């Protein structure tokens, strides 16, 4: 189920996280990304953030995702945007990264940790590849309080049980357990209007229009896609009041 959901997103050439471009910009600031830094983005999806960072700072970026289709889309995006020289995209699992200890200055992840099997292992593994003094930062959806059985059931029905966020305290604990210090947490409301606006801003008008066109063509030509999309992509509106999103950053 997990990979079906993500395969659909790769076909649409569209991946997302709560807070969209605002969240990415705050993550960039709190992780002190600049031209001199070597960055790893874990669970990079279709490569929107690695391309954005490479364009904005001209720094070297590596993006990993466990799906080949996501990495294919990411490489196409980097070529289209003329930043393929700066970015290396690789298929890899965040729980077992193919990098040496202390290879990167900064590791970021946007809406990946809520989907992984072993969150602590994923954070520990990300921290392993960061240089001493470097930053680790994630942006994730967070429950405002521990979820009710009803909310968990709605989530499971919508995402097939693969989406499993924590509270802000829970996310902070993961970072502390991984030995990070100087933890900074910044939380924000999730609203339908903000989400729509920030997703459009993040993708840019042209890529947004292309993604919309691809989605509509798939809906018309592939009934299976239509059914799967209906099941997995409908945002569970009744849950929005139970969520916020947070940026969680720590230093190694
Ligand atoms: C919600 S999407 C977010 C993608 C991207 N960060 C963005 O904000 O557009 C989550 C991504 O994490 C990837 N992913 C999930 N589990 C993973 C794992 N164990 N290792 C690497 N990537 C993973 C999925 O394939 C998907 O592309």
55-60: long-range pairs with CB below 8 Å, 24+: 55/81, 55/83, 56/28, 57/33, 58/86, 59/33, 59/34, 59/35, 59/86, 60/86, 60/87, 60/88
Q: What is the CATH number of the domain that holds 58?
A: 3.40.50.150
Instruction: List the single range of 71-85, 145-159, 225-239 with lowest mean pLDDT.
Output: 225-239
Residue 228 clears pLDDT 70, i.e. is over it: no
Q: What is the mean pLDDT of residues 214-240?
A: 71
Of 211 and 52, the structure prediction assigns the larger pLDDT to 52
Residue nearest to atom 11 of ligand 1 (CA): 43
Kindly give the distance from the C-alpha atom of residue 45 to the centroid of ligand 1, in angstroms, as a whole number. 5
Of 199, 128, 136, nearest to 171 (Cα)? 136
Instruction: List the single range of 17-26, 126-135, 159-168 with lowest mean pLDDT.
Output: 159-168
Token pair for residue 165?
């966020």
7 Cβ below 6 A of ligand 1: no
17 Cβ below 6 A of ligand 1: yes
Q: What is the mean pLDDT of residues 219-232?
A: 72
> Would you tell me how many other CB atoms lie within 10 Å of the CB of residue 180?
21
- Report the greatest alpha carbon distance in the chain: 51
pLDDT score of 1: 43
Q: How many domains does the chain have?
A: 1
**DSSP-assigned letter for residue 144:** S
Mean of per-residue pLDDT scores for the chain: 89
Kindly give the distance from the C-alpha atom of residue 159 to the centroid of ligand 1, in angstroms, as a whole number. 14
Tell me the pLDDT band of 3, cut-offs 50, 70 and 90. low
pLDDT score of 242: 85
Tell me the pLDDT band of 213, cut-offs 50, 70 and 90. confident
Residue 231 clears pLDDT 70, i.e. is over it: no
Rg (CA), the chain: 17
pLDDT score of 235: 58
Q: Give the C-alpha separation, 51 to 83, whole Å.
A: 7
Kindly give the distance from the C-alpha atom of residue 72 to the centroid of ligand 1, in angstroms, as a whole number. 14
pLDDT score of 148: 82
pLDDT score of 161: 63
112 Cβ below 6 A of ligand 1: yes
Among 53, 112, 202, the mutation site with the greatest number of ligand 1 atoms within 8 A of its Cβ is 112
Of 58, 53, 64, nearest to 29 (Cα)? 53
pLDDT digits (tens, 9 = 90+) for 24-60: 999 999 999 999 999 999 999 999 999 999 999 999 9
114 Cβ below 6 A of ligand 1: no
Ligand 1 atom nearest the C-alpha of 109 is 6
Tell me the pLDDT band of 126, cut-offs 50, 70 and 90. very high
Q: What is the mean pLDDT of residues 85-103?
A: 98
45: left (phi over 0), alpha (psi -120 to 50) or beta: left
Q: What is the mean pLDDT of residues 222-245?
A: 71
Residue 2 clears pLDDT 70, i.e. is over it: no
How much of the chain exceeds pLDDT 70, in percent? 93
Domain carrying residue 52: 2-251
Kindly give the distance from the C-alpha atom of residue 128 to the centroid of ligand 1, in angstroms, as a whole number. 19
Residue 160 clears pLDDT 70, i.e. is over it: no
φ, ψ of residue 187 to 5 degrees: the values are -115, 155
Kindly give the distance from the C-alpha atom of residue 169 to the centroid of ligand 1, in angstroms, as a whole number. 22
Q: What is the mean pLDDT of residues 1-18?
A: 79
65 Cβ below 6 A of ligand 1: yes
Cα–Cα distances (Å) from 138 to 157, 182, 206, 215, 246, in that order, read 26, 14, 27, 28, 8
Residues with Cβ < 8 Å from 225, sequence gap 6 or more? 8, 11, 218, 219
Residue nearest to atom 16 of ligand 1 (CA): 116
φ, ψ of residue 45 to 5 degrees: the values are 60, -135
- What angle (nearest 5°) sits at the alpha carbon of residue 101, between those of residues 64 and 62? 25
Q: Give the C-alpha separation, 68 to 90, whole Å.
A: 8
93 Cβ below 6 A of ligand 1: yes
Q: Give the C-alpha separation, 208 to 210, whole Å.
A: 5
């Amino acid at each position: 189920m997990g990979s079906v959901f993500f395969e659909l997103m790769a076909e649409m050439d569209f991946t997302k996280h709560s807070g969209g471009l605002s969240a990415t910009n705050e993550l960039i600031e709190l992780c002190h990304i600049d031209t001199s830094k070597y960055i790893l983005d874990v669970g990079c999806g279709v490569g929107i953030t690695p391309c954005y960072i490479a364009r904005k700072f001209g720094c070297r970026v590596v993006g990993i995702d466990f799906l080949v289709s996501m990495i294919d889309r990411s490489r196409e995006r980097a070529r289209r945007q003329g930043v393929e020289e700066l970015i290396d995209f690789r298929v890899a699992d965040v729980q077992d990264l193919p990098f040496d200890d202390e290879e990167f200055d900064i590791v970021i992840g946007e809406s990946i940790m809520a989907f992984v099997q072993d969150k602590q292992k994923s954070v520990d593994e990300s921290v392993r590849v960061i240089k001493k003094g470097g930053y680790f930062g994630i942006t994730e959806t967070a429950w405002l309080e521990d979820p009710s059985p009803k909310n968990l059931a709605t989530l499971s029905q919508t995402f097939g049980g693969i989406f499993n966020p924590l509270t802000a305290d829970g996310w902070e604990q993961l970072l502390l357990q991984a030995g990070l210090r100087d933890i900074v947490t910044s939380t924000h409301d999730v609203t339908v209007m903000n989400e729509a606006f920030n997703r459009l801003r993040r993708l840019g008008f042209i890529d947004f229009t292309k993604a919309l066109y691809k989605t509509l063509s798939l809906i018309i030509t592939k009934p299976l896609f239509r059914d799967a999309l209906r099941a997995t992509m409908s945002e569970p509106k009744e849950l929005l009041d139970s969520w916020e999103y947070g940026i969680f950053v720590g230093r190694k």
